Structure 1
C-alpha cells in the first residue's frame, strides 16, 4: 500500500507518529499494517521539505498535476523495489487520508497505472447535489485562493498549527496568543473539537471528537489523547502549497476540467469518520465504475450527536482506532 498524507502533515506525522518531532504516543497506522504483513510505502509531497527559513521559491509550482506525476514516480519506484526484492510484479493499493484521499481519487481517475485498488480515509471528491452549500464553500475558497495566487502568494503558513500544538505541550495553562479567551490547552481543544467554526467541510466537521459541556465548550477530547493531537499539530511542516489547496478546492467545486470518478474501475474502500467527512463521503463511492466498493463510517452515536462523534484525526490517533478503523482496513487490504 502507498499512503498519501493530509494537510499540515507528512507521512511520518500522519502514519508513523512515534517517529515525529515531537514524538507522539499513538502507535501509527503504517506500523500496524506492516505488522500484518502489508508492505507500506509513503509519499511526502514537495511542500513538506523546506524548513521554516528554507527556500520556498518553487512552492507556486506545486499543484495537483505535479503531485500526480510524483505519485507515478513513487509507485514506479515501489513496484521496481518489490520486483527486485520479492519478485512481486503486482500493482499497489493507493491510499490517502484527507486531501491525500482526494489525491488518491484523482490519480486513480486520471491515470490509475500501477494501482490495484484505492483506499480513501475520510475525504470526498464529488459533492452530492443535495449538499450544494458545501460546493459553494469550495468554490468561494477556490476563488479567494486564485486571487491570492494572482497577487504572488504561494505559501500557506502552518505556524498556526505548530504554535497551537507546541504551546499546548509546553504551557497548557497559560493564555493562548492565538485565541486569547482560551488557555493554550483550551485553544487546542477548541480547534480540534469545533473545527467547523473555521473549516466547515461538513456542517459539524471536527478534527477530534470533543466532550462538550452544557454551553457547547470543549472540556476534553473523547477519542484521541491530547499528547497525540498536540504532537500532530506541533510537528506540522512549516509550509504548504497554496496552489495545491486551490486546485483541490476546484475539484470539489466542479467548475474546471478534472479527472472523473467514473474512470475508476479498480476496487474501492472508503473509511469515514462520522464527525468529519463521514457520510458526506459516501456519494463519491457511488460515482466510480467499480463493482467492488466497500464503505465503513466509524461512529459512536446516532445522528443527533454527530458533533461529538468520531473525528477526522481520530481515524489515525484515537485509542480505539486500531479496532474500529485499522483492523477493517487491514482485512480489506489482505483480501485485495
Structure 2
C-alpha cells in the first residue's frame, strides 16, 4: 500500500526491542516428493522463458483448511543475499501433494509494506481460511501469489545499497518468472498450460498494468494473461484531475531527491511496525509520535486518516485512508468500522516486511503524474484483456476508473465499494478494507469470484 513516512525514528529503536517477540511461524512440512521434482523441472523451463536466471531453494507445504493446502516456494533469482522471491500456491488437493485439476488460476501481486500472506493469505492469529486466497481456493480456483524481493530483507538490515536497481522493471521480470512457473507447474500437475488471470492490490495493481502493457507487444503465443483485476489503484489521472497529477509529480520529485542522495529504501513498514508494537504493548500510553494521543489513537489515526500523514506532500487522492474509522465527539479516532478486532490489524502490521525498495515508488509517481517519461504506459490502448476494476470509495475508488478507459478492452467491469454519501468519503470503505475488512467476503471477494467464473 502507498505510504508516506511521518513517524519518528524512535520507532526504529522500539521495534528493535520488540524483535524476537513476533517471530512465531506456522508449522510447515518440507518433503522430498515427486511434486518437488516437478517444481524443480518447472522452474528450469520458467527461467528460460522469462530470461531470468533462477533455481528452486526450498519448498514447504502446510494445511490451510480441510483439503486446501499452501505450497510456498523460495526461488533464488540472483547472486545477492536477498536476490530471491517467494511463490505461493493455495489449492485444493486430491491427496497429499496432489492438487486438483483447476480450470481457473489467478496470480496475486501484493502492494507496499506487505507480502503475499499479509495481503491475501494467512494472517497471524486469524483463522487460516479467513483470506481472499483461501476463499477463492475453496471455490476451486488455483491461487498463486508472489513475495517480491524486498520482503526477504530482515528487520535488522542497515545497508540497502543492493536495492539501487530494484525498480518496476526488475520486479516485473520477477513476476514474469512467477507467472511462467505457475503455468508450467499447472501443466505438469493436470491443470493445463492455459493463460491465467492476474490480480494486484494497490502497488500490485501498478505492476499488473505495467506487466499487461509490456505483454501487449508480444506475439499472442508468448502472452500469459487471460484477464486482469486491478484493485484500488490510480495508474493515470483524468485531465479533470490535473491538480492530483501535479501532486504526484511533487511526490516524484521528493522521492527522486532522496534516491539521488543515496537513499534506496523506504522504511514505512518499519515505522508502522513500531506503531503496532506500541499499541499492542501499551495501548493507553502517551504516543511519542502524535502529541496528545495515546498509542492506540496514533495507530488508528494513521490507519483511518491516512491522508493527513502525507504532509507537507499531498495524498494520492483526497481523504485517502487504509481503513474506515470511527471517531468520538472530539474527533479522536476510537475504532474501525469494518474490522471488529484491532488485534487482526496489529498482527498484519507486525508480520509485514519492514523495508521496501524506493525504485518502484518513484516509478509509480512518474506514471501517475504523466509528466515523466517511463516505459510502463506506452501501450495501454493495446491491452485488450477482460478487466475488473475493484475500488474503495475511501481509497482511490472512482479515481482509478479512468485508467480502464485508456485500455483497448471491450470487456470492462467496474465495482467501487461505496457505503456512504459522497460528502462522507473520509469515513467510507478504505483502501485495505477491500482485503482485510470483516465484510470483504460479501462485498469484494464474492464479486471477484463471480467475475472469474464468467470468463
- 2:353 is the alignment partner of 1:249: no
Number of residue pairs aligned between Structure 1 and Structure 2: 333
Are the equivalent residues in 2 in contact too, given 1:24–1:232 (CA < 8 A)?
A: no
Distance 2:121 2:316 in 1: 26
Distance 2:349 2:173 in 1: 28
Distance 1:301 1:25 in 2: 29
Correspondence for 2:59: none
Unaligned runs of 5+ in 1: none
Distance 2:288 2:196 in 1: 45
Higher relative contact order, structure no. (Cα contacts within 8 Å, ≥ 6 residues apart)? 1
1:145: how far off?
A: 1.4
The structure that has the greater radius of gyration is 2
Q: 1:35 to 1:77 in 2, by over 3 A?
A: same
Distance 1:258 1:215 in 2: 48
Correspondence for 2:324: 209
1:25: how far off?
A: 5.8
Are the equivalent residues in 2 in contact too, given 1:116–1:266 (CA < 8 A)?
A: yes
Correspondence for 2:188: 84
Q: Deviations over 1:73-127 (max 9, x none)?
A: 1100000000000141211101100010111011111125211100011111111
- The structure with more helix, counted as a fraction of residues: 1
Are the equivalent residues in 2 in contact too, given 1:110–1:263 (CA < 8 A)?
A: no
Correspondence for 2:347: 231
Q: 1:323 to 1:277 in 2, by over 3 A?
A: same
Are the equivalent residues in 2 in contact too, given 1:270–1:295 (CA < 8 A)?
A: yes
Correspondence for 1:139: 249
1:232: how far off?
A: 2.2
Are the equivalent residues in 1 in contact too, given 2:324–2:338 (CA < 8 A)?
A: yes
Distance 1:284 1:107 in 2: 15
Are the equivalent residues in 2 in contact too, given 1:49–1:237 (CA < 8 A)?
A: yes
DSSP-derived class of the 2:213 partner: helix
Q: Deviations over 1:156-184 (max 9, x none)?
A: 11221101112212211111222232111
- 2:452 is the alignment partner of 1:333: yes
- State which of 135, 142, 149 in structure 2 corresponds to 1:32: 135
1:269: how far off?
A: 0.5
Q: 1:300 to 1:8 in 2, by over 3 A?
A: same
- The structure with more strand, counted as a fraction of residues: 2
Correspondence for 2:385: 266
Runs of 4+ in 1 over 3 A off after TM superposition: 23-26, 54-57, 213-216
Unaligned runs of 5+ in 2: 1-105, 217-222
Distance 1:95 1:324 in 2: 17
Which has the higher mean CA deviation after the structures are superposed, 301-310 or 178-187? 178-187
Q: Please, what is the CA RMSD of the aligned residues?
A: 1.5
